[in-house]
């Protein structure tokens, strides 16, 4: 069995990517299973999705803790200790990372022993689709890595996207983007990571409720969680055009837009998630959208 785990942010398309891969494998006659795991369905929050592909009936369910292939659709997740996208990766495993960096630089920076492939699929999606929706692209990358056929991928993208859009042109563009990613990557021979890490069954030690009640007693730590790295675009104000109408300040769902001494709005980029509602709402069209690359 081959186990693939996708990591993305809510809204990026990790769930559909896992389905594209699942359907492509299914179309080639394999047993396949796909499954997403997310919390309170919050856009931008880390999510994971899983695809299992096998020649035998699949007798596993749920989370894949020891994947053969990991697809990281947003490289900022590599720094997120909660998402922990590289967990359970063996030396024989392979990681695909959506990044502007080269594989050897990524390996060095994140101390990855396993094989690494990189491709800036965000750029490809912006070029072809005009927006950073990566489902068909990540599905295409994964299909190539696990050595499925281009024809199955094409059909899988069509089937999966037909469930969520009727826009024929959009589906065509997704197929194009998906095939582009498919062809941009090498096909890799992956050894299935069959080793299962053993952890012994223990007897649960008792702890009194001052420890074992589901409570958090340290002061509020939400401000420590910076959400600025969720951005793909950042809003940039042109103060020549800005009329100080404050619409952007009111429309920002996260309260990230403040006003400087001269009365012009500016963004708290440490927390701005790049939703671009401010730019959409600006009556003076004074806010432009700038592609952002999270360089280190």
Partner 1 sequence: MLGKMTKQMLTGNASIAWGVRLSDVDYIPAYPVTPQTEIIESLSKWIREGQMDAGFVTMDSEHSMITAAGAASATGVRVFTATSSQGLMYGFEMLYTVSGWRVPFVMANVSRGLSSPITLEPDHNDILAARDTGFLQIHCETCQEALDSILIAYRLAEDKSVLLPAIVNMDGFYLSFTREPVEIPNKEIVREFLPPYKPTHAFFRASQPMAQGVAVLGGHIYSYFKYQMHMANNNALSIYKEVSEEFKETFGRGYGTVEGYMLDDAEYVLIMSNSFSAMGKAAVKRAREKGLRIGLLRLRLLRPFPEEDIREALKGRKASAVIDQNISVGKGGILYSEIAGVLYNEKQRPLLLSFIGGLGGKNISDAEFDFIFDAMMNAYSTGNVPQPALLYTEAELEEMERLKRVAGKG
- With a CB cutoff of 8 Å and minimum separation 6, the contacts of 255 are none
How many beta carbons lie within 10 A of that of residue 127, not counting itself?
11
Answer yes or no whether residue 204 interacts with partner 1 by CB under 8 A. yes
Q: How far is the CB of 45 from partner 1 (least distance, A)?
A: 11
> Which of helix, strand or coil describes residue 101?
coil
Distance, in Å, from the CA atom of 258 to the CA atom of 268, rounded to the nearest integer, reads 7
Distance, in Å, from the CA atom of 164 to the CA atom of 28, rounded to the nearest integer, reads 23
How many beta carbons lie within 10 A of that of residue 158, not counting itself?
17
Answer yes or no whether residue 220 interacts with partner 1 by CB under 8 A. yes
Phi-psi domain of 111 (left: phi exceeds 0; alpha: psi -120 through 50; beta: other):
left
* H or E, element range at 182: helix 168-184
Answer yes or no whether residue 207 interacts with partner 1 by CB under 8 A. yes
Q: How far is the CB of 189 from partner 1 (least distance, A)?
A: 33
Answer yes or no whether residue 210 interacts with partner 1 by CB under 8 A. yes
Residues in region 22-61 near partner 1 by CB under 8 A: 39-40
Among 56, 201, 213, 223, binds partner 1 (CB under 8 A): 213
Answer yes or no whether residue 219 interacts with partner 1 by CB under 8 A. yes
Q: How far is the CB of 39 from partner 1 (least distance, A)?
A: 5
Of 195 and 213, the one with the shorter C-beta distance to partner 1 is 213
Distance, in Å, from the CA atom of 132 to the CA atom of 100, rounded to the nearest integer, reads 14
Distance, in Å, from the CA atom of 153 to the CA atom of 130, rounded to the nearest integer, reads 21
Torsion of CA 268, 274, 280, 285, to 10 degrees: 50
Distance, in Å, from the CA atom of 152 to the CA atom of 147, rounded to the nearest integer, reads 11
Which span (89-97, 176-184, 214-222, 246-254) binds partner 1, by CB under 8 A?
A: 214-222
Distance, in Å, from the CA atom of 235 to the CA atom of 253, rounded to the nearest integer, reads 14
Of 39 and 57, the one with the shorter C-beta distance to partner 1 is 39
Answer yes or no whether residue 216 interacts with partner 1 by CB under 8 A. yes
Which span (4-12, 145-153, 208-216, 223-231) binds partner 1, by CB under 8 A?
A: 208-216
The residue count for binding partner 1 (CB under 8 A) is 17
Q: How far is the CB of 216 from partner 1 (least distance, A)?
A: 4
Of 210 and 240, the one with the shorter C-beta distance to partner 1 is 210
Residues in the chain, overall count: 296
Answer yes or no whether residue 208 interacts with partner 1 by CB under 8 A. yes
Annotate each residue in 164-203 with x if it binds partner 1 (CB under 8 A) or - if it does not, as one string: ----------------------------------------
Answer yes or no whether residue 261 interacts with partner 1 by CB under 8 A. no
Whether 97 and 106 have beta carbons less than 8 Å apart is answered as yes
Among 186, 214, 223, 255, binds partner 1 (CB under 8 A): 214
Residues in region 106-135 near partner 1 by CB under 8 A: none
Distance, in Å, from the CA atom of 178 to the CA atom of 138, rounded to the nearest integer, reads 7
Footprint on this chain of partner 1 (rule: CB under 8 A): 39-40, 204, 206-217, 219-220
């Amino acid at each position: 069995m081959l186990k693939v785990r996708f990591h993305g942010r809510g809204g990026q398309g990790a769930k559909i990517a896992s389905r594209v891969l699942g359907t492509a494998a299914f179309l080639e006659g394999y047993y396949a299973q796909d499954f997403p795991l997310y919390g309170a369905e919050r856009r931008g929050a880390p999510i994971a999705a899983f695809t299992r592909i096998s020649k035998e009936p699949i007798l596993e369910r749920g989370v894949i803790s020891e994947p053969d292939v990991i697809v990281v659709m947003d490289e900022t997740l590599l720094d997120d200790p909660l998402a922990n996208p590289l967990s359970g990766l063996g030396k024989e495993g392979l990681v695909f990372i959506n990044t502007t960096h080269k594989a050897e630089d990524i390996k060095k920076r994140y101390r990855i022993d396993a094989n690494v492939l990189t491709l800036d699929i965000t750029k490809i999606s912006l070029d072809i689709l005009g927006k950073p929706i990566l489902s068909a692209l990540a599905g295409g990358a994964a299909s190539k890595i696990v050595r499925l056929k281009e024809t199955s991928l094409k059909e899988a993208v069509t089937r999966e996207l037909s469930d969520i859009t009727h826009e024929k042109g959009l589906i065509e563009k997704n197929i194009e983007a998906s095939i582009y990613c498919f062809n941009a990557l090498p096909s890799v021979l992956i050894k299935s990571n069959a080793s299962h890490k053993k952890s012994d069954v223990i007897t649960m030690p008792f702890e009194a409720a001052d420890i074992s009640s589901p409570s958090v007693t340290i002061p509020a730590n939400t401000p420590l969680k910076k959400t600025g790295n969720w951005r793909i675009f950042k809003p940039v104000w042109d103060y020549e055009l800005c009329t100080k109408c404050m619409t952007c300040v009111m429309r920002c769902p996260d309260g990230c837009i403040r006003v400087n001494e001269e009365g012009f709005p500016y963004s708290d980029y440490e927390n701005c998630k790049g939703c671009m509602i401010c730019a959409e709402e600006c009556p003076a069209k004074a806010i432009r959208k700038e592609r952002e690359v999270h360089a280190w």
